[in-house]
Structure 1
């Protein structure tokens, strides 16, 4: 299945005292490295957040405008960097590869790789939808671990930008008009790191590399 990936890695990590989530470690790798690995198979990958200088060759980078404007603004910046909407924010030429689907993944879910193939299979079998969103074992939807039709997502990003702006906009509201599959994913794959208690429960190391 032909898809690109937008990895969100630019939050303030307020409940971690400002320690960047992307650089926390799990099983010998940073959370950002694990997120990039989870996007295996993507044609192009863009990381929206500070560039750590250790990304694989060919990985694109972008920043939401303004920085720390939230995940909806970061999704918009990622689409722009992939070539959906003109020039990138730094003036570079955007990618010319336009996959019809995009994986959106927040970097703070260390076990997300288990969910990605499940989502891909569901979308491949239901290509009349606008995409698929992960659902945890207790029924919680996770929009930042999902695969979306680029044209539909770009339409909603454009509409939100024109109507109310994307700064600190709710992602669920951004996606509300899309026809999405709610896909149960493997246990733990949507568990994220918002607090130090979350990090301890998941075995995430707070010592930065």
Structure 2
């Protein structure tokens, strides 16, 4: 698939966990943030969007504007640091401690031409995908069919077009915009997890989630 970049979103408020720096919490002896960054170690560049802190070598750090403005403003800040020639980007939450390189490979493998003429699943419900039409991105879906949009790989041009559209629709501000609004209209390949082990999209929103991740990470 060629090279790809990675943008890891680490600016959430973690209100259900008392406002702690959730991505810095350890799972299996390593912070969730660093585990996510390790899963995309071959991405170039790797961009962390969130509060400044110690990060692995080679990782660029930026902050969304305004700070705490939500995942869409964070995605915009991360994409702003990518080279114009970058085609693919993994857009990931920083609290996915079970994410693996194999899972990223699985997503990348789905960004290939669609070679059928029948209806195709998409984030917008569109069914007009014809031969050779490329999806704009691929993300995992859970057993109930819920898309895990912040565990996906996307075409940079499609995300930038979505940001431009959403900025215009919201009068110039992306603060508080939901990810589903950014992805509206994009053709999305929905990928069920078929690999071994726990689901790579498992995120940690509560202390109980962290404990479950610890058990899986042993």
Alignment TM class, shorter chain as reference:
0.7 to 0.9
Matched residues, number? 190
Q: Which residue of 2 aligns with 1:79?
A: 79
Mean Cα deviation higher: 130-139 or 3-12: 130-139
1:1-209 → structure 2 map (5 Å cutoff): 1-53=2-54, 55-83=55-83, 98-113=85-100, 114-124=102-112, 126=114, 128-164=134-170, 165-185=173-193, 186=195, 187-203=198-214
Q: 1:124: how far off?
A: 4.1
Scaled by the length of structure 2, the TM-score of the pair is 0.82
Query: In 2, distance between residues paired with 1:180 and 1:134?
Result: 10
Match of 1:2, SS state, is coil
Kept in 2, the 8 Å contact 1:4–1:103? The answer is yes
RMSD after superposition = 1.7
Rounded to whole Å, the distance in 1 between the matches of 2:49 and 2:13 is: 13
Cα pair 2:112 2:134 within 8 Å, conserved: no
Q: Distance between the aligned counterparts of 1:199 and 1:32, measured in 2?
A: 13
Point out the structure with max Rg over C-alpha: 2
Structure 1 portions without partners, runs of 5+: 85-97, 205-209
Rounded to whole Å, the distance in 2 between the matches of 1:199 and 1:138 is 22
Summarize deviations over 1:62-112 as a string: whole Å, max 9, x none: 11110011101100010012245xxxxxxxxxxxxx320100010111112
Is 1:9–1:22's contact at 8 Å kept on the other side of the alignment?
yes
CA distance in 2, matches of 1:152, 1:47: 20
Gapped regions of structure 2 (runs ≥ 5): 115-132
CA distance in 2, matches of 1:125, 1:152: 16
1:125, CA displacement in angstroms? Answer: 5.5
